[in-house]
Structure 1
Amino acid sequence: MTTESSTYPIGRPGVPWGAEEKNAWLNEQTQKRSYFYDVLAVVERLAEDFDVVQYGELAYAEYGFADYPLVLLKSKNWQLEKPTVIVTGGVHGYETSGVHGALRFLQTEALNYTEQFNVLVAPCISPWGYETINRWNPETTDPNRSFLRPSPAPEAAQIMDYVAAIGGKIVMHIDLHETTDTDNSEFRPALAARDGIVNDNWNIPDGFYLVGDSQDPAAAFQKSVLDSVAKVTHIAEADESGKLIGVPLAQFGVINYDGKKYGLCMGLSGAEYVTTTEVYPDSANATPEECIQAQVAAIVGGLNYVAAHTGS
């Protein structure tokens, strides 16, 4: 278990942030990488095999950054009578393998499933977070607590609106995430400071794990995902309390949250089979490339299970 100080340089302990503190935080943010080069340029090269749809825009030039087009890719032979599967990445923009795992899936595996399924991939839901390496958006709102109506985050609201309008049956949704050492050095302390609370959970699991939906755990589906990932990287063991990130283990490598209650992206579609992946790129036993491959393996494991259990 990693333990860090909960001290944060903005705000006063125990006092939630107001506009002044939020502006001070925003003023510290800088662009560190390019969504346009790292993501949109790759999407452009995929346009021969997939339909590219701009489903919205984040008007963040007002904050001194860019206006970000929000894009997704969908299989060309889209048919309403076919089951639909959704992959999302970059809900937390700083979680790199989520974005690049979604793109790698499109580059290497997605076409293998387009006869069975309508495939929809939104590789980077939070491009400002990707560029500035942040969990929040410029308003200090966490998109992965914002899949609610009305949503407090445009990152969540715009993909929710698009998915709600596509029609047909959505059978699977996999949301790609990471848990990193910066969760303890930056993001957990920032959250505690923003909300005027004390953080008491510093656990960062060493390895890959899943977050299922407590309202529909789909244990066999989760196991299929983990079995596929285990061929690429190691699965996280529970801590001495039988927990991962402070949550009791539901099965090996899996904890469960109420996705809709907490506004998590896993609640986006109401699909029968849902999960959130978590890899640990800072592990001594994994590389960033293995983390990307693990994300792809997770999607493939899920798709293979769903294909065998939906008659597709």
Structure 2
Amino acid sequence: MTIAATNGTPGLPWGDAEKAAWRASKAKRRSYFDDVLPQIDSLRSALDVIQYGELDYGDDGRYPLFALRSRDWNDALPAALVTGGVHGYETSGVLGALQFAQRHAADYAGRGNLLIAPCVSPWAYERIQRWNPHALDPNRNFFAGSPAGESAALWDLVQPLRGRFLLHIDLHETTDSDETEFRPALAARDGKPFEPGTIADGFYLCADARNPQPAFQQAVIEAVAKVTHIAPADPDGTIIGSKVVAHGVIEYDYVPLGLCGGITGARYTTTTEVYPDSPRATPEQCNDAQAASVCAALDYALAS
């Protein structure tokens, strides 16, 4: 049963009572403190670990927010931001960012500065949810004065460095639950009818419509194609309802939509989308695809 069938009154946006009922229904299913923080802590010998905020969610607990930063940070070098877990349920975004940090970050020492925020939304990670506990989507709330604590904390971390970033890659997934749970919930929350869509089978990228950098996007697609399959367009030439502008690439207007990918003003930006529910992909492949996308993005950006 979807959220849309169990919360609120059809045609009416949720109020505080409906949001509270939604939050109360979200049980903890895994642990940020057991799964993610030990992996971050294990990287202290190679990277600086910085706490950039803390989320206080009352009875649900307090969540410290951590980022990994190049130990040899050099302001003369370009910077790259890697973000994962903006949507906490998108597991390979978190694990892919950590895998990149563990296996590949050292390869870029002395070539560029790395800032990696592997789990932007820990409450949602624990509950395998898209939204934060206030029924806000962090990936629609990246702007000054954001009401989403996850978005506001990352915004505050990044803004002092704005203008120094060459690259920002934001790691996401598209899952079957987008169609069965999260999109119906969005329609119910906003008092709108649910309109069924489709889920793309494979990896794809979402570029910034105002700064698409098509050669850069294709370099990432070509690298990931060696790891897992790239999503084909639907018969109408779209992926998740957006026009396919190149093999495996769609575009969104990052900044007006409040997307994470728009926070740096970097020359090269992209948002990855892995499909973990595909019968053609394993969880390991999904993590590998995310790490490969970061490496390919960095290699292209630094070579340029």
Q: Report the TM-score, using the length of structure 1 for normalisation.
A: 0.95
- Counterpart contact for 1:56–1:71, Cα < 8 Å: yes
Q: 2:32 is matched with which residue: 35, 55, 71? A: 35
Partner AA of 2:26 in structure 1: Q
Partner of residue 20 from structure 1, selected from 17, 25, 39: 17
Determine helix, strand or coil for the equivalent of 1:137: coil
Q: Deviations over 1:39-64 (max 9, x none)?
A: 1101111000000000000011x1x2
Counterpart Cα distance in 1 of 2:291 and 2:157: 24
Closer, same or farther: CA 125–6 of 1 in aligned 2, 3 Å: closer
Amino acid at match of 1:125: V
In 1, Cα distance between the equivalents of 2:70 and 2:2?
47
Match of 2:191 among 196, 203, 209: 196
Structure 2: how far apart are the matches of 1:161 and 1:20? 31
Rounded to whole Å, the distance in 2 between the matches of 1:171 and 1:95 is 25
Q: Cα distance 1:168–1:16, how it changes in 2: closer, same or farther (>3 A)? A: closer
- Tell me the TM-score normalized by structure 2: 0.98
* Structure 1 moving runs of 4+ over 3 Å: 4-7
Task: Tell me which residue corresponds to 2:262.
Answer: 267
Gaps of 5+ in 2: none
Q: Distance in 2 between matches of 1:176 and 1:6?
A: 25
The yes-or-no answer on 1:71 pairing with 2:66 is yes
Name the CA distance, whole Å, in 1 between partners of 2:269 and 2:250.
13
CA displacement at 1:190 relative to structure 2? 0.5
Q: Number of residues paired by the alignment?
A: 304
CA distance in 2, matches of 1:167, 1:308: 21
Question: 1:142-186: per-residue Cα shift (whole Å, max 9, x none)?
Answer: 000000122120101111111112366100000000000111111
What is the alpha-carbon distance in structure 2 between the residues aligned to residue 266 and residue 186 of structure 1? 24
1:86 aligns with 2:95: no
Q: Does 1:129 align with 2:85?
A: no
> Which residue does 1:292 correspond to in 2?
287
Q: Answer yes or no: is 1:239 the counterpart of 2:234.
A: yes
Alpha carbon RMSD of aligned pairs, Å?
Answer: 1.3
- Given that 2:202 and 2:274 are in contact with CA atoms closer than 8 Å, whether structure 1 keeps it comes out as yes
2: CA distance, partners of 1:268 / 1:261: 11
SS of the equivalent of 1:71 reads strand
Where does residue 305 of structure 1 map in the other structure?
Answer: 300
- 3-state DSSP of counterpart to 2:255: coil
Could you tell me how far apart the structure 2 residues matched to 1:84 and 1:121 are?
11
The structural deviation recorded for 1:5 is: 8.0
